[in-house]
């Protein structure tokens, strides 16, 4: 029995592993709607279970047959003797709920519902689906689907799917260690088929369908807990429960399991423009980027990349750094790979000089820097290739060595000699990481896979995979703790609408530097406050009804004397009274006129699924014209905040580019972290926060303006 | 006989087609160094020619054998009766030059030299290669190589290569219409092999080796002229003769042939930093980008993309616009493709409402907007799929329809029913463009190819191919003339070093607006000129020895009165005398103080291979921090200049973003074009030009500073 992460009364807040073992590791399976025709939906799983040698009990249930596909059939679940772990439901829509109720009565622990006709079909279907959900919640019986393709766990021989691709699952699937979780019924089998064409088997494979009960995150968590799973690949379109997904990703991360995700919906979600300035940039899809960044999830943009990366991870070997050696028999392919490696930030470091000399002596026409080019001699003299390979592996100090062998893997005798050479070289250099780009016969690919040597057709794909392995590796190495330590004081926000002055006071309590400013309610007080603050000052109207102060004439810059401040008070209130006669005015803020430094923006948007997301960007054209911003889920510590800062393309500007100042990055990072803690602690009451601008100065960072918008 | 593009006395300025027919369409072939062993370098071409049914004479030359591989052998070329078009030279290095001389004596028209040991092996080899080049130039006999893999033209049965991949060339190669030109001996055969795995055959295929005589551009030009070639794919590392490559690309463009190029060397060339401001951004690799942009060449970054695009072009059908319809049986794959299409700028427009209603009535669960999702019903009801396909093709007004059919092409009966359905639908909708993403058996792919229906395994690759086809199509449609009309007056530059004032006068003659400024040589003249120019003015030292005037105190901004101008003159000269005592000072420039508008930069760098390249960028962070610049080869017209302007990421700033002015883009484009003509006309004497800043104002564009650096 696996541990439950459920908390009483919070069924949706954490993933629920209870009963999932009955789905993925079922010891007995009943098929409701069993068909004698092995090509029918209700017949296929029976065929698969038989052909694939499932060891548990298989109980076809069909009132009209005594035998189904050579197995004894049962008129109903009542007739089945002994416990049933898993029920496969392949019935017309109206029969599904009654069937599930009978499952509950017979203590079936989990059910897979293939049948469609539920939430995807409108209100009536949605109501039926809700009843399935409630039944599952009430009874504890877990339900996968409805409207799903099912689940396969080749390790246990559980083939509870009607997808024809189960035929494609190889005998070796059970030991690949790669699990695949898909929210799409079609993308799942498609990926499995693509993977097979390049020699990668999915060990476990599940599609979640309409997610009446079991959700994507539940399956992800199960895979994270399953010791036989080493790599999790996934396809996701959306998530209704951010906390659960976060918890599942946390579990995978804690156990050092790479998660590779293809998430769709960039374009449609990008269209969901929202009103406020920050919100215009925080689309929900960006929130996924922030989530994936935080949990070291590798997000890919295509099925090819998904399969390539899962395949790369399946070897279970990760480079410890980004030094890449390139060994090639083609100068052209070497340059191509070097270009790409450099473009991805890998270090195409030259061989040490002694090694270069050694190679030159072996074969003077060779290129001996990096890429190391054996020339076409590779195919004429396999011994030379071995010698080169040894030198590059042993003396290059590379974290990964990529070997380009063009189409030699398709031709005899090379396919054998090269495969032998690679395997023996790896054995001679334990701990070395070899990735091969070669068109090769499946047998050669399999032999190399058994030695954890990866093979890619395309040299560009090979280098891209090395890059992603390195990112996953450094992500696991560099981020020990997800949950940051909160500052000692995180003030509570009561959800009222605040004027700028009050918003800043609140943020100041959270540790955000806002400058020593005053709020005044008379011309004389304005003059006195200006003297106290120190000239020049800025006067700004304070009003909960006015978000854009400049637009109503509510700002006076560069006030240099007490007299100007006194007049200014009256002038501002006069202009505001004309432009916004209904606005409640709380007074006038007298603030120091902070100049210099680099303008930045800190924003918070409260995502309905994932909670507060912090955005960072540079001011001016960077945010508004270039959209050059970074995101992270709140809360986070200062180290993560620094990643956010350094992640914007214009970050050089904060470090003295173009003759500007070297800003106090530590202070800026601290502010970002503090804002993130404040937002996280008050997530229930905040819609958004906008600190714009925040001036990054050589010795500090100051929030010059602040706006907190409460949740409606 | 093909036309010659040679001009007397300019052998390297234009590609030379003379004699290339003897290479690509040889009517008789002698093999010098012929081997009886069909696996040896000198034996393989004989085997290929025999096996592939070459119709011309094949003459093995080998003094030690009377017969080679069943053919009569000849002791020397002397013994061969009748003319020899092409000689294959497969001899040890020292024998190559004598053999080529004997070829010349026997009026052999072209030779392919497989042998290595020339320029790639150091000075002695380079000298030998130079002798080959001179022999070729003197005699008119064309030479491919040395150190090359050879040439194959399957249409004529010419297999003059020793690469084992000739075995992979299919019987249908001759009609694919795809030619491949490679500067790399290994990348060429590799690409051919990859292409074969996805059902694409290269009709003609050539590797240029060391290019002693025949260069990459010659082969490209030949393919452009060959009517049987419809698509040119190419791999290039570099080019020594830019004019020739331009002429070849022009020829392909004039004949509407797509050229797809994989060019390597981005990273190494990026390292060639140069001194001046503009130059730091104009790397030679960027010049290739400019070149390819200009000639509508599709530059790709990987072998996969190269093959995908060549394959896409091989159907010979190009979309007329960017409206894409997506028909899928998988909601997930549909979203994935829509995301990518939107990201690439394709128009994922919804179906017209009448068509939507029609589809809804056919199958209520279907998604009917775009993507159109038939749901899994596709595989249950092929008839429904046909109906959907017809509606999308006939009523969607899409330029391309992409159909996702997952792995149905691998399974019976679907592979046949779906292939039939696609073919018949296309026949019912003449002119429609269908691209399919489907894992499919080769036979299905071939059947669809015969109907010009493209098949891609990966949905992302399918959409990317649609995008590239559209780019090629609009490139051909939108750019009728390459050679722009020069302005009526393009002043000559004599190559002397000019101070800012004189540089601006020269540029003003070229039509560049530089503002009404004066050069003065006394304080009183400064005051008088300032009054005439109109306050406020700027004073700047004019000196051919001072490039960075601010650094020596040589600039005085915002001079508001005649008195300040008078004092300023003295002040500037005093500061300059201290900071740069050896500088020759020509006087002081009195210029209007132009403010407002948007800062831009126009630069010219004279590339040693391709001549003057014009760079455009926005000032400030855009160029220096973000490297946000565009390039184009000079000269170009105002329409191209506008593309340059709109091509920078920050271009919105010129159109009133962030409350700024809407700039006079026509004036800016005119200035760019005029600078390009000036640079092109004076290419022999200019090293670089730097107009920085150029202020883009609402009603004009003004070059505020100008620097012309002459060629050393």
Residues of B in contact with A657 (CB under 8 A): 621, 624-625
Of A194, A235, A267, the CB nearest to B339: A267
pLDDT score of A410 more than 50: yes
Q: Determine the angle formed by the axes of helices A414-428 and A442-450, rounding to 10 degrees.
A: 10
pLDDT average, residue stretch A94-104: 97
Q: What is the pLDDT of residue A360?
A: 94
Determine whether the interchain pair A406/B189 forms a contact, defined as Cβ–Cβ distance below 8 Å.
Answer: yes
Alpha carbon distance A297, A248 (integer Å): 12
Per residue in A123-163, pLDDT tens? 899 999 999 999 999 999 999 999 999 999 998 899 999 98
Computed over every residue of chain B, the mean pLDDT equals 89
| Chain B: residue whose CA lies nearest to A462 | B302
Lowest mean pLDDT among A47-61, A196-210, A524-538: A196-210
pLDDT average, residue stretch A275-285: 38
pLDDT average, residue stretch B528-547: 94
Determine whether the interchain pair B439/A365 forms a contact, defined as Cβ–Cβ distance below 8 Å.
Answer: no
Q: How far is B606 from chain A (nearest CA, A)?
A: 24
Determine whether the interchain pair B189/A329 forms a contact, defined as Cβ–Cβ distance below 8 Å.
Answer: no
Q: Please give the domain boundaries of chain B with CATH numbers for all domains.
A: 20-313 (3.40.50.261), 323-477 (3.40.50.261), 516-592 (3.30.1490.20), 598-710 (3.30.470.20)
Q: What is the pLDDT of residue B478?
A: 67
Determine whether the interchain pair A264/B460 forms a contact, defined as Cβ–Cβ distance below 8 Å.
Answer: no
The pTM (predicted TM-score) of the whole model is: 0.91
Q: What is the pLDDT of residue B172?
A: 65
- Going by their DSSP bridges, the two strands B158-161 and B298-300 should be labelled as unpaired
pLDDT score of B608 more than 60: yes
pLDDT score of B275 more than 60: no
The band of B527, judged by pLDDT with boundaries at 50, 70 and 90, is very high
Residues of A in contact with B237 (CB under 8 A): 332, 335
Alpha-carbon separation of residue A406 from A376, A455, A512 (angstroms): 11, 11, 58
Computed over every residue of chain A, the mean pLDDT equals 89
> Between chain A and chain B, how many beta carbons pairs sit less than 8 Å apart?
195
Q: What is the pLDDT of residue A273?
A: 23
3-state secondary structure A137-149: HHHCCEEECCCCC
Of B194, B406, B626, the CB nearest to A186: B406
Of B41, B625, B656, B660, which to mutate for an interface test with A (greatest number of A Cβ within 10 Å)?
B625
pLDDT score of B8 more than 70: no
Q: What is the pLDDT of residue A659?
A: 74
Per residue in B309-361, pLDDT tens? 999 999 999 999 999 999 998 888 988 999 899 999 999 999 999 999 999 99
Q: What is the pLDDT of residue A656?
A: 83
CB B329 within 8 A of CB A186: yes
pLDDT score of B43 more than 90: yes
Q: How far is A127 from chain B (nearest CA, A)?
A: 17
Task: Kindly report the length of chain A.
Answer: 712
- Phi-psi domain of B563 (left: phi exceeds 0; alpha: psi -120 through 50; beta: other): alpha
Task: Kindly report the length of chain B.
Answer: 712
Determine whether the interchain pair A622/B621 forms a contact, defined as Cβ–Cβ distance below 8 Å.
Answer: yes
Kindly state the DSSP code that residue B708 receives in the 8-state scheme: E
Longest dimension (CA), chain B: 101
Determine whether the interchain pair B653/A264 forms a contact, defined as Cβ–Cβ distance below 8 Å.
Answer: no
The band of A479, judged by pLDDT with boundaries at 50, 70 and 90, is low
Q: Hey, which bits of A188-263 come out as E strands?
A: 204-207, 231-236, 259-263
Q: What is the pLDDT of residue B178?
A: 95
Q: What radius of gyration, in Å, describes the C-alpha atoms of chain A?
A: 31
Determine whether the interchain pair A302/B650 forms a contact, defined as Cβ–Cβ distance below 8 Å.
Answer: no
Written as one string, the DSSP assignment of B166-235 is GGG--GGGGGS-EEEEES-TTHHHHHHHHHHHTT---SEEEE-TT-SSS-HHHHHHHHHH-TT--EEEEE
Determine whether the interchain pair B333/A190 forms a contact, defined as Cβ–Cβ distance below 8 Å.
Answer: yes
Kindly state the DSSP code that residue B292 receives in the 8-state scheme: H
Q: What is the pLDDT of residue B282?
A: 30
Alpha carbon distance B367, B404 (integer Å): 14
Per residue in B354-378, pLDDT tens? 999 999 999 988 888 899 998 877 7
Lowest mean pLDDT among A104-113, A452-461, A594-603, B275-284: B275-284
- In degrees, to the nearest 5, what angle opens at C-alpha B322 toward C-alphas B319 and B327? 85
Percent of chain B scoring above 90 in pLDDT: 71
Residues of A in contact with B302 (CB under 8 A): 336, 340, 458-461
Per residue in A618-673, pLDDT tens? 987 888 778 889 999 999 999 999 999 999 998 998 998 777 779 999 999 999 99
Q: Which residues contact B197 (CB under 8 A, 6 or more apart)?
A: A439, A457
Q: Which range, A228-242, A348-362, A375-389, B166-180, is most confident?
A: A348-362
Q: What is the pLDDT of residue B615?
A: 95
Q: Provide ipTM, 2 decimals.
A: 0.89
Determine whether the interchain pair A116/B365 forms a contact, defined as Cβ–Cβ distance below 8 Å.
Answer: yes
Of A197, A332, A439, the CB nearest to B237: A332
| Chain A: residue whose CA lies nearest to B410 | A193
Residue in the structure block whose two tokens are 């998530």: A239
Helix (H, G, I), strand (E, B) or coil at B156: coil
Q: Which two tokens stand for residue B652?
A: 């919105």
Q: Which two tokens stand for residue B200?
A: 């694409």
Of A186, A264, A268, the CB nearest to B329: A186
Q: What is the pLDDT of residue B284?
A: 66
Written as one string, the DSSP assignment of A143-168 is EE-SS--EEEETTTTEEEE--GGGGG
pLDDT score of B123 more than 90: no
Determine whether the interchain pair A406/B333 forms a contact, defined as Cβ–Cβ distance below 8 Å.
Answer: no
Residues of B in contact with A308 (CB under 8 A): none
Of residues A540 and B484, the one with the higher pLDDT is: A540
Q: What is the pLDDT of residue B279?
A: 30
Determine whether the interchain pair B338/A407 forms a contact, defined as Cβ–Cβ distance below 8 Å.
Answer: no
| Chain B: residue whose CA lies nearest to A266 | B339
Determine whether the interchain pair A439/B406 forms a contact, defined as Cβ–Cβ distance below 8 Å.
Answer: no
Of residues B669, B610, B677, the one with CA closest to residue B289: B610
What is the helix, strand, coil percentage profile of chain B, to 5?
A: 40, 20, 40
Percent of chain A scoring above 90 in pLDDT: 71
The band of A11, judged by pLDDT with boundaries at 50, 70 and 90, is very low
Percent of chain A scoring above 70 in pLDDT: 94
How many angstroms from the chain centroid is the CA of residue A550?
Answer: 40
Of residues A166, A145, A465, A478, the one with CA closest to residue A337: A465
Q: What is the pLDDT of residue B267?
A: 67
| Chain B: residue whose CA lies nearest to A365 | B121
The band of B658, judged by pLDDT with boundaries at 50, 70 and 90, is confident
Residues of A in contact with B339 (CB under 8 A): 264-268
Residues of B in contact with A267 (CB under 8 A): 338-339, 341-343, 348
Q: What is the pLDDT of residue B13?
A: 40
pLDDT score of A2 more than 70: no
């Amino acid at each position: 029995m696996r541990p439950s992460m459920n908390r009483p009364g919070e069924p949706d807040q954490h993933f629920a592993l209870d009963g999932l073992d009955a789905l993925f590791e079922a010891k007995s399976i009943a098929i409701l709607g069993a068909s004698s025709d092995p090509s029918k939906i209700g017949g296929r799983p029976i065929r698969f279970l038989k052909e694939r040698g499932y060891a548990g009990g298989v109980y076809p249930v069909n009132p009209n047959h005594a035998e189904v596909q050579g197995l004894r059939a049962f008129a109903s679940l009542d007739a089945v003797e002994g416990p049933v772990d898993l029920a496969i439901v392949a019935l017309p829509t109206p029969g599904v709920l009654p069937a599930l109720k009978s499952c509950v009565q017979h203590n079936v622990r989990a059910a897979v519902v293939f049948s469609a006709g539920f939430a995807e079909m409108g209100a009536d279907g949605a109501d039926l689906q809700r009843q399935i959900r409630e039944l599952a919640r009430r009874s504890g019986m877990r339900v996968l689907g409805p409207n799903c393709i099912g689940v396969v766990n080749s390790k246990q021989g559980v083939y509870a799917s009607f997808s024809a691709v189960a035929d494609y699952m190889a005998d070796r699937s059970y030991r690949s260690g790669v699990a695949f979780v898909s929210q799409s019924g079609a993308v799942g089998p498609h990926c499995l088929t693509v993977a097979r064409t390049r020699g990668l088997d999915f060990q476990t494979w599940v599609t979640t369908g309409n997610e009446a009960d079991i959700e994507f995150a539940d399956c992800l968590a199960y895979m994270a807990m399953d010791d036989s799973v080493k790599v999790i690949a996934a396809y996701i379109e959306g998530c209704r429960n951010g906390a659960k997904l976060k918890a599942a990703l946390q579990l995978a991360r804690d156990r050092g399991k790479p998660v590779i995700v293809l998430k769709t919906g960039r374009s449609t979600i990008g269209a969901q423009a929202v009103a406020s300035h920050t919100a215009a940039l925080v689309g929900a899809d960006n929130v996924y980027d922030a989530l994936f960044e935080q949990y070291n999830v590798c997000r890919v943009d295509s099925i090819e990349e998904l399969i390539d990366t899962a395949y790369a991870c399946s070897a279970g070997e990760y480079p410890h750094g980004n030094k890449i050696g390139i060994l090639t028999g083609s100068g052209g392919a070497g340059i191509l790979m070097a270009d790409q490696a450099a473009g991805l930030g890998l270090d195409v470091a030259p061989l040490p000089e002694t090694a270069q000399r050694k190679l030159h002596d072996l074969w003077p026409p060779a290129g001996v820097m990096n890429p190391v080019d054996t020339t076409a001699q590779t195919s004429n003299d396999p011994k030379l290739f071995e010698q080169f390979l040894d030198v590059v592996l042993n003396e290059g100090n590379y974290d990964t060595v990529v070997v380009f062998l063009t189409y030699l893997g398709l031709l005899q005798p090379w396919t054998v000699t090269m495969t032998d050479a690679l395997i023996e070289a790896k054995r001679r250099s334990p701990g070395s990481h070899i990735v091969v780009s070669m068109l090769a016969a499946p047998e050669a690919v399999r032999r190399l896979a058994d030695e954890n040597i990866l093979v890619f057709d395309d040299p560009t794909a090979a280098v891209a995979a090395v890059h992603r392995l390195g990112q996953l590796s450094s992500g696991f190495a560099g981020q020990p703790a997800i949950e940051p330590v909160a500052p000692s004081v995180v003030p509570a926000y009561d959800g009222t609408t605040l004027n700028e002055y009050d918003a800043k006071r609140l943020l100041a309590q959270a540790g955000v530097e806002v400058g020593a400013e005053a709020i005044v309610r008379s011309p004389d007080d304005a003059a006195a406050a200006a003297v106290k603050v120190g000239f020049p000052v800025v006067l700004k109207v304070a009003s909960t009804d006015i978000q854009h102060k400049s637009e109503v004439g509510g700002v006076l810059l560069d006030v240099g004397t007490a007299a100007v401040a006194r007049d200014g008070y009256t002038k501002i209130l006069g202009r505001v009274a004309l432009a916004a006669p209904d606005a409640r005015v709380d007074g006038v803020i007298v603030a120091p006129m902070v100049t210099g430094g680099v303008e930045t923006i800190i924003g918070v948007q409260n995502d309905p699924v994932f909670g507060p997301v912090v955005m960072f960007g540079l001011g001016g054209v960077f945010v508004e014209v270039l959209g050059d911003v970074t995101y992270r889920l709140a809360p986070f510590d200062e180290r993560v905040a620094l990643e956010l800062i350094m992640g914007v393309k214009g970050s050089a500007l904060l470090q003295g580019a173009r003759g500007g100042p070297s800003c106090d990055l530590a202070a800026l990072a601290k502010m970002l972290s503090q804002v993130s803690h404040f937002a996280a602690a008050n997530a229930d009451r905040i819609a958004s926060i906008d600190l714009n601008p925040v001036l990054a100065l050589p010795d500090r960072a100051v929030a010059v303006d602040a706006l907190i918008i409460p949740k409606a």
